[in-house]
Structure 1
Amino acid sequence: MAAERPIPVYTNLADLYSNLGASLNHAVRWNNLAEEFQKRFGRKPAYIARAPGRVNLIGEHIDYALFGVLPAAIERDILIACGPRPVPASSPISEAHHSPGSVIAENLHTKYARQVFAPARKASVSDEVGEDKVHVEGWHLDINTKELRWESYVKAGYYGVLDHYFKSDVSNANATSPIPVDLLVTGSVPAGSGLSSSAAMVVASTLAFLAVNGKLDDQSNSLTKGELVKMSMENEKRVGVNSGGMDQAASVISDASSALFISFFPTLKATPVPLPAGSVFVCANSLVVADKAVGAKRGYNLRVVETLVGARVLARALGVPVGEKERITLREVVGRLLGEEKEHELDVSDLQKGLERMAKEVEVLRPKGVPDDGELGVTMEEMIEMSGLPEDKFRDVYLSWVEVEATHFQLYKRAKHVYAEALRVLQFRQTCLDVSAGSPAGNDSGSNAALERLGQLMNESQTSCAELFECSCPELNNLTQLARKAGAIGSRLTGAGWGGCTVSLVAEDKIQSFIEQIRDTYAPYKGLEGEALSEVIFATRPSSGACVYKFE
């Protein structure tokens, strides 16, 4: 299993670069970072930790319904050069940078100021994660989740290392402490673009502190990739982000030239899916920023409630048993309908057949006699009645933990999207596996046919996101249409939507002309050149996951 492999620790840069992809000049970035670290701290780094961003190729808004998704790591990444800081025995501990485990963190981007901080041992133990303060067993660091700063993600990564490896009681005279460390951070994942720069930052930070404290040296007894995913998920919660694990798994477990099939039921699992030869993706930022907090009541949170209530109503219509206080998911409806048992999870082929069936079964949610352009939603009163629950219990189960705002709730459209999108994920996966298994292997026409099929599925996904899940926006719709006119085999939004990025599958020999045409036709890009252009639109091959380079 990919999740059970150890974190790669390289000592040969040629081996490392061969797994990262070829769209960026990685050697120049890594060398510049190491040289700049030496200039600033007076010695070369001991390690460079790398964690890539990710792009979700297909499978939008179905993870919280517990269906699998298909992201891939991208070449753009977060790099953290790091090394232990020698502290003379006579140094005053009262100064922060001389304290045990103290951190001096700098960033190559000039807008991010130098930070100095140190963890403090606590006399009492608490696992509470609050709004203003964060507590880890035996340790304390401040993270203000109301005003996130770049160093908050560095601190978040540090917490996992403190929590797992430095638990000694404060009263113990032999308690071990983390060593002082210097960090220099750089990143090529555009922030706020939906490509998971925050998850990459937390993963890279976690790895940096593990490496400097010697926790990756013993490869026979070191952290596995799966364990790093779990640690990073917990760490990111420290900055107020509750993640389902897709971002961290893609950043950590991905293989070069492969997507990652991540399933969430009954537990999180991740398996590589080799992509056909010539699979190059172009990420394009719509430059629309979707503020999830502001729009949550009518956007993301509303969709979560609609899919959950839709699952209960559908289960009731199909005679599937549901507990009165249970929030059954659309994935669980399929499983129970097909007689799935906890010990015997449906295999992928049976799940695919089930999803094909659900495309018809979901029609019971559609209001009778309403045309396609009519109101397919239901009112709050109608939704409560359809659920079969008394109003007070309905509100307790579905509305007591989240705020939503709508006049009509689109149970039919949301469920129709989720089941169709989950099926597209399995079809995308199977198309890739067929090529890898050799059905058309080594055959250019077969590989081209596979790419065309993947592109078709991506286009269908975009249509569904726009029309059924309604998580697109005019700019994303325009950008995907322009992408297809510019020669994309397929193009769709990626990430939560309502802004952020698109991802387009583009033939290898058309990348440059494709980018130039998008620049000339998408109004917000006009006049952009060089680095400014590459910040908003860039090609990437699926890259390998997180790793560490150790300087000899």
Structure 2
Amino acid sequence: MAAQLPIPVFTSLDQAFPDLQTAAIQGVRYKEVVEEYEKRFGHKPTYIARAPGRVNLIGEHIDYVLFGAFPAAIERDILIACGPSLPSSTSGAAETLTVGGVRAENLNPKYAPQTFAPMLKTAGPSAQEEADAASTVHAESAWHLDINTRELRWESYIKAGYYGVLSRFFPAALAETDKQAHPVPVDLLFTGSVPSGSGLSSSAAMVVASTLAFLTVNNKLDGVTKGSLVEMAMENEKRVGVNSGGLDQAASVICTPHSALYVTFYPKLDAELIPLPTPRTSPRAVFVCANSLVVSDKVVSAKWHYNLRVVETLVGARVLANKLGITLGPNERPTFRVILSRWLGAPESGLDADGLKVGIERFLPEVEKLRPPREGRPAGEEGVTLDELVELSGLSKEQFHKVYLSWVEVEAEYFQLYKRARHVFTEALRVIEFREVCLRANAASGELPADTLVKLGELMDQSHESCSTLCESSCPEVDALCRLAKSAGAFGSRITGAGWGGCTVSLVAEDKVGEFIQKVKEGYEPYRALEGEKLREAIFATKPSAGAFGELFVALLLDMCSCWG
């Protein structure tokens, strides 16, 4: 399976980017970051780590309840030139850097240079605890790095990536007695083309790339699979206060060119590469990402938005289980996917896509049990108050807080259990149907079935409607962009990413992209004054890209860059 493959190791850009035109363009970019690294740190980098952003084609806000999604990596990415710090470059800070100190700089001048170092906690775990910790990504780190989740800074994502490497590969018990077991001091130089706050997962790309950089510099990449890197990155991003479900990290790590990823999370992470339908004669289609220019910072607004959706779905699963007669322990926190499996009596090994589709269709009528009574609430209100929520859960206030609120901050007057559940199960169905359309098209012996792109577009449209009205993760600007996209000729258009701003993704005939972008520019007021590179930053076509690669030997890289000028 794709998740069990090792992280790719490339020694030349034409291995990383088989398309020669793309390799040539990237060669100029890589040469720039290598040369700038040497200017700033006084030595050449040893490695370059890359992680792409992603566009989620369908399957929004369902990964954290363990239903599958259908993302693809995009061509825009985060690059980190990295290498061990040299004593001559530490300016007297050698003692700090011997315990894994980090100097991080960014080609974008708005991000100030940062210097920090991890510290061993004074009371480390026992040798047996260290052994147990090595076998789980959930283990608490014996190292400390200060991350302010209330005022998130760019270096917080670097620290988050570092945590996973420290926790897994540098046991505190050994590090306290053997300095050779310390992480090496590191110099990092970042550059990126994924717009922040756009819904294209710049944060996951930063965490994945940072994790890779620390793995490679410390020679810890051997034996790390794509799946284990995804799990590490998921845990790492939680350090910045976001309860990520794994979709973003899986796309950034596992994807390959020309394919999207059907990624599932129950009973464990699994990923199936699905080639996107490619007509042989009729015009091909590409995905166009359009940034609403409404910045979506899911960390800052998490208690009203992202994390609130996580809590609503988790509590909704318990309440629905109670109504279905499914017994839960007082400390259990099952997801909708787990409740579905128990209701179906499905084996722990899970269901294939076909079996899951049948199961969801059978289960959907049960979701109606989450509709609250109309009495005593405002007209049209389908949510419940916190007091009602506790009562419906069957738990005491103290136990409810411990299980559902002690680990996350949320804020709401009404909690929307029914709407969120309805979105989750219908969106999970759309993901499976999207996969089916792609597989049928790929199996066709001749030209694609004529309605392939139309069907994919219809599913995207239905997904956006659900995100807007049931998940309530859209915003007026994003809704307007989707309507404009449809009027400009898109087969389908939907919000992508965490939501409340950020990007839309539209399926557009490749030979109509220029015309499409011009129509959207004329119709979307924030675009009208944009020209040239600023417009290309806001709206652009993309094809599925390769996922993250772990290292690229700079000596060979420089030879190739010099050939390309």
Q: 2:419 aligns with which of 398, 413, 429?
A: 413
| Partner residue in 2 for 1:427 | 433
Deviation track 1:352-387 (CA, whole Å, cap 9, x = no partner) reads 0111223333344446899xx962615439955983
> Letter of the aligned partner of 1:115 in structure 2?
Q
Counterpart CA distance in 1 for 2:403 and 2:10 is 48
| Partner residue in 2 for 1:461 | 463
TM-score between both structures, scaled by the size of structure 2: 0.84
Q: 2:495 aligns with which of 486, 493, 496?
A: 493
| Partner residue in 2 for 1:256 | 257
> Letter of the aligned partner of 1:549 in structure 2?
L
Map residues 258-273 of structure 1 onto 2, 5 A cutoff: 258-273=259-274
- 1:125 aligns to 2:124 (yes or no): yes
Contact 2:101 2:186 in 1 (8 A): yes
Compared with structure 1, are the counterparts of its residues 334 and 147 closer, same or farther at alpha carbon in structure 2 (3 Å cutoff)? closer
The farther-off stretch of 264-273 and 18-27 is 18-27
The farther-off stretch of 173-182 and 455-464 is 173-182
> Letter of the aligned partner of 1:56 in structure 2?
N
Deviation track 1:405-457 (CA, whole Å, cap 9, x = no partner) reads 55554433322221111100101111112223x2x2451x42x5322211110
Deviation >6 Å, runs of 4+: 367-370
Compared with structure 1, are the counterparts of its residues 531 and 397 closer, same or farther at alpha carbon in structure 2 (3 Å cutoff)? same
Deviation at 1:81, TM superposition (A): 1.2
Q: 2:534 aligns with which of 529, 532, 545?
A: 532
Contact 2:14 2:20 in 1 (8 A): no
The farther-off stretch of 353-362 and 54-63 is 353-362
Map residues 357-368 of structure 1 onto 2, 5 A cutoff: 357-366=362-371
Please report the RMSD computed on the Cα atoms of aligned residues, expressed in angstroms.
Answer: 3.4
Counterpart CA distance in 2 for 1:47 and 1:488 is 41
> Letter of the aligned partner of 1:231 in structure 2?
M
Counterpart CA distance in 1 for 2:334 and 2:140 is 33
Compared with structure 1, are the counterparts of its residues 245 and 405 closer, same or farther at alpha carbon in structure 2 (3 Å cutoff)? closer
Deviation at 1:188, TM superposition (A): 0.4
Where 2:53 maps in the other structure, the secondary structure is: strand
Counterpart CA distance in 1 for 2:456 and 2:340 is 25
Where 2:287 maps in the other structure, the secondary structure is: strand
The farther-off stretch of 245-254 and 316-325 is 316-325
Contact 2:386 2:413 in 1 (8 A): no
Compared with structure 1, are the counterparts of its residues 389 and 488 closer, same or farther at alpha carbon in structure 2 (3 Å cutoff)? same
> Letter of the aligned partner of 2:273 in structure 1?
P
| Partner residue in 2 for 1:207 | 212
The farther-off stretch of 499-508 and 405-414 is 405-414
Counterpart CA distance in 2 for 1:233 and 1:441 is 39
| Partner residue in 1 for 2:562 | none
Number of aligned positions between the proteins = 534
Deviation track 1:84-128 (CA, whole Å, cap 9, x = no partner) reads 343269x88655676454433221111222333344556542699
Where 1:175 maps in the other structure, the secondary structure is: helix
- 1:46 aligns to 2:46 (yes or no): yes
Counterpart CA distance in 1 for 2:411 and 2:88 is 59
Map residues 27-42 of structure 1 onto 2, 5 A cutoff: 27-42=27-42
Q: 1:281 aligns with which of 281, 287, 295?
A: 287
Q: 1:522 aligns with which of 521, 524, 535?
A: 524
Compared with structure 1, are the counterparts of its residues 59 and 144 closer, same or farther at alpha carbon in structure 2 (3 Å cutoff)? same
- 1:25 aligns to 2:31 (yes or no): no
| Partner residue in 1 for 2:563 | none
Counterpart CA distance in 2 for 1:202 and 1:442 is 42
Contact 2:162 2:214 in 1 (8 A): yes
| Partner residue in 2 for 1:131 | none
> Letter of the aligned partner of 2:548 in structure 1?
A
Contact 2:289 2:503 in 1 (8 A): yes
Counterpart CA distance in 2 for 1:381 and 1:176 is 49
Q: 2:190 aligns with which of 178, 185, 189?
A: 185
The farther-off stretch of 150-159 and 222-231 is 150-159
Deviation at 1:348, TM superposition (A): 1.7
Compared with structure 1, are the counterparts of its residues 321 and 80 closer, same or farther at alpha carbon in structure 2 (3 Å cutoff)? same
TM-score between both structures, scaled by the size of structure 1: 0.86
The farther-off stretch of 4-13 and 166-175 is 166-175
Compared with structure 1, are the counterparts of its residues 146 and 409 closer, same or farther at alpha carbon in structure 2 (3 Å cutoff)? closer
- 1:549 aligns to 2:548 (yes or no): no
Where 2:167 maps in the other structure, the secondary structure is: helix
Where 1:25 maps in the other structure, the secondary structure is: helix
The farther-off stretch of 152-161 and 193-202 is 152-161
Map residues 327-342 of structure 1 onto 2, 5 A cutoff: 327-342=333-348
Deviation track 1:170-220 (CA, whole Å, cap 9, x = no partner) reads 55356333333332210001111122111111211221222223334xxxx
Contact 2:152 2:299 in 1 (8 A): no
Deviation at 1:480, TM superposition (A): 0.3
Counterpart CA distance in 1 for 2:521 and 2:412 is 37
Compared with structure 1, are the counterparts of its residues 180 and 316 closer, same or farther at alpha carbon in structure 2 (3 Å cutoff)? closer
> Letter of the aligned partner of 2:29 in structure 1?
R
Where 2:451 maps in the other structure, the secondary structure is: helix
Where 1:260 maps in the other structure, the secondary structure is: strand
Counterpart CA distance in 2 for 1:276 and 1:419 is 25
Compared with structure 1, are the counterparts of its residues 534 and 262 closer, same or farther at alpha carbon in structure 2 (3 Å cutoff)? same
Contact 1:73 1:254 in 2 (8 A): yes
Contact 1:21 1:541 in 2 (8 A): no
Counterpart CA distance in 1 for 2:356 and 2:20 is 33
- 1:479 aligns to 2:485 (yes or no): no
Counterpart CA distance in 2 for 1:302 and 1:98 is 40
| Partner residue in 2 for 1:375 | 380
Compared with structure 1, are the counterparts of its residues 297 and 96 closer, same or farther at alpha carbon in structure 2 (3 Å cutoff)? same
Counterpart CA distance in 1 for 2:242 and 2:374 is 42
Deviation at 1:526, TM superposition (A): 1.1
Compared with structure 1, are the counterparts of its residues 119 and 295 closer, same or farther at alpha carbon in structure 2 (3 Å cutoff)? closer
Contact 2:56 2:496 in 1 (8 A): yes
Compared with structure 1, are the counterparts of its residues 259 and 279 closer, same or farther at alpha carbon in structure 2 (3 Å cutoff)? farther
Counterpart CA distance in 1 for 2:543 and 2:177 is 50
Compared with structure 1, are the counterparts of its residues 531 and 325 closer, same or farther at alpha carbon in structure 2 (3 Å cutoff)? same
Deviation at 1:484, TM superposition (A): 0.8
Compared with structure 1, are the counterparts of its residues 358 and 37 closer, same or farther at alpha carbon in structure 2 (3 Å cutoff)? same
| Partner residue in 1 for 2:78 | 78
Compared with structure 1, are the counterparts of its residues 326 and 169 closer, same or farther at alpha carbon in structure 2 (3 Å cutoff)? closer
> Letter of the aligned partner of 1:12 in structure 2?
S
> Letter of the aligned partner of 2:114 in structure 1?
Q
Deviation at 1:531, TM superposition (A): 1.8
Counterpart CA distance in 2 for 1:72 and 1:3 is 15
Where 1:511 maps in the other structure, the secondary structure is: helix
Deviation track 1:270-308 (CA, whole Å, cap 9, x = no partner) reads 222221124521111112234546655554444344434
Counterpart CA distance in 2 for 1:140 and 1:265 is 31
Contact 1:154 1:202 in 2 (8 A): yes
Where 1:169 maps in the other structure, the secondary structure is: helix
Compared with structure 1, are the counterparts of its residues 95 and 396 closer, same or farther at alpha carbon in structure 2 (3 Å cutoff)? closer
Q: 1:347 aligns with which of 344, 352, 364?
A: 352
Contact 2:264 2:270 in 1 (8 A): yes
| Partner residue in 2 for 1:164 | 168
Counterpart CA distance in 1 for 2:175 and 2:92 is 16
Deviation at 1:76, TM superposition (A): 0.7
Compared with structure 1, are the counterparts of its residues 173 and 25 closer, same or farther at alpha carbon in structure 2 (3 Å cutoff)? closer
- 1:389 aligns to 2:394 (yes or no): yes
Where 1:468 maps in the other structure, the secondary structure is: helix
Compared with structure 1, are the counterparts of its residues 27 and 332 closer, same or farther at alpha carbon in structure 2 (3 Å cutoff)? same
Where 2:57 maps in the other structure, the secondary structure is: strand
Where 1:435 maps in the other structure, the secondary structure is: helix
Counterpart CA distance in 1 for 2:424 and 2:488 is 29
The farther-off stretch of 119-128 and 49-58 is 119-128
Compared with structure 1, are the counterparts of its residues 37 and 287 closer, same or farther at alpha carbon in structure 2 (3 Å cutoff)? same
Map residues 433-444 of structure 1 onto 2, 5 A cutoff: 433-436=439-442, 438=443, 440-443=444-447
Contact 1:24 1:75 in 2 (8 A): no
The farther-off stretch of 173-182 and 151-160 is 173-182
> Letter of the aligned partner of 1:188 in structure 2?
S
